[in-house]
Amino acid sequence: MVKIRLARAGQKKRPYYHVVATDSRSSRDGKFIERLGYFNPSARGQEVKCSIDTAKVEAWVKTGAQVSERVAFLVKTLPAATAAPAA
């Protein structure tokens, strides 16, 4: 099964997450199928806190991918203006 979830990156005590579509059996930070965006919880000033390509997320969900609770919350609260453009 394909899941859309967060993969941790960044330094110690400075988390940074990639929103990825991955096989549910792979490890959290392991191989992924496609990168769909990012989430930076410690963004300050002019830094962008979250950028997710919602069109790609919807396409994955239509093919049967399961979205994690946190990613679903991020997509739901993401203003349409800050959503990444569909490429």
The residue with greater pLDDT, 8 or 84, is 8
End-to-end CA distance of the chain: 25
Q: What percent of the chain stands above pLDDT 90?
A: 61
Q: Domains of the chain: which residue ranges?
A: 2-82
The whole model's pTM is what? 0.82
* Closest listed residue to residue 17, CA positions, set 59, 74, 86: 74
Q: Bridge-partner residues for 21, per DSSP?
A: 4, 34
Buried b (16+ CB within 10 A) or exposed e, 45-78: eeeeebbbbeebbeebbeeebebeeebeebbeeb
Mean pLDDT (the chain) is: 87
Fold exhibited by the domain 2-82: S16 Ribosomal Protein; Chain: A; (3.30.1320)
Identify whether the C-beta of residue 15 lies closer than 8 Å to the C-beta of residue 49: no
- When pLDDT is cut at 50, 70 and 90, the band that residue 73 belongs to is very high
Q: Tell me: the pLDDT tens digits for 26-63?
A: 888 888 899 999 999 988 889 888 999 999 999 999 99
